Amino acid sequence: MISIFDKNFDPEHYLSTFRQQNLGSGAICNFVGMVRRDDGCDDGCDDDLISLKLEHHPRLTQKSIEDIASAAQLRLRLDDILIIHRIGEMAYGEPIVLVAIASKHRRDAFAAADFIMDGLKTRALFWKKEIRRSGDIWIEPRVQDYADAARWK
């Protein structure tokens, strides 16, 4: 299942349902990405991040995520995939993305979650902007994101 939400969501709710739907799988691996402060900024620093805003094109973004999930299915032995991605404005600490994988074996589940996240970071059609006190900044994938994704070629 692939869903794109414009409201906050509770990852635990969806993970509980996903686990119940995949009781025959030997492994379930999940990843929850959350809005964070700047790299290197701990809870005591004065970060000027107000929120993160993700924009998208409904059909193109959905298709790009479907393509990433299909590629994972072709590459690995998977029982099920769940991808939930937020759009709109999100505050610090809110979930951005949930990826859950059900598989007979843990290695396929871990690899699929990693593969899908690398695809979401570099190939999914989202436009990301940090809303800051000092001025908004459009965010592009980092060099490291592309290097991570290149491992799968």
With respect to residue 96, please indicate whether it lies within any of the assigned structural domains. Answer: yes
Predicted confidence band of residue 134 (pLDDT cuts 50, 70, 90): confident
Mean pLDDT, to the nearest integer, of 114-125?
95
Number of structural domains found in the chain: 1
Residue 46, pLDDT > 70, answer: no
With respect to residue 43, please indicate whether it lies within any of the assigned structural domains. Answer: no
Which conformational region is residue 40 in: left (phi greater than 0), alpha (psi within -120 to 50 degrees), or beta? left
Which conformational region is residue 64 in: left (phi greater than 0), alpha (psi within -120 to 50 degrees), or beta? alpha
Residue 114, pLDDT > 70, answer: yes
The percentage of the chain sitting over the pLDDT mark of 90, rounded to a whole number, equals 76
> What pLDDT score does 49 carry?
85
Q: Give the mean pLDDT of the chain.
A: 92
> What pLDDT score does 63 carry?
97
Structure-token pair, residue 119: 């695809």
Say if strands 27-34 and 95-103 run parallel, antiparallel, or are unpaired.
Answer: antiparallel
Mean pLDDT, to the nearest integer, of 62-85?
97
Residue range of the domain that includes 87? 2-35+49-151
The domain that contains 8 carries what CATH number?
3.90.1170.40
Mean pLDDT, to the nearest integer, of 24-48?
79
Residue environment code for 5-22, b if the CB has 16+ CB neighbours within 10 A, otherwise e: eeeeeebeebbeebeeeb
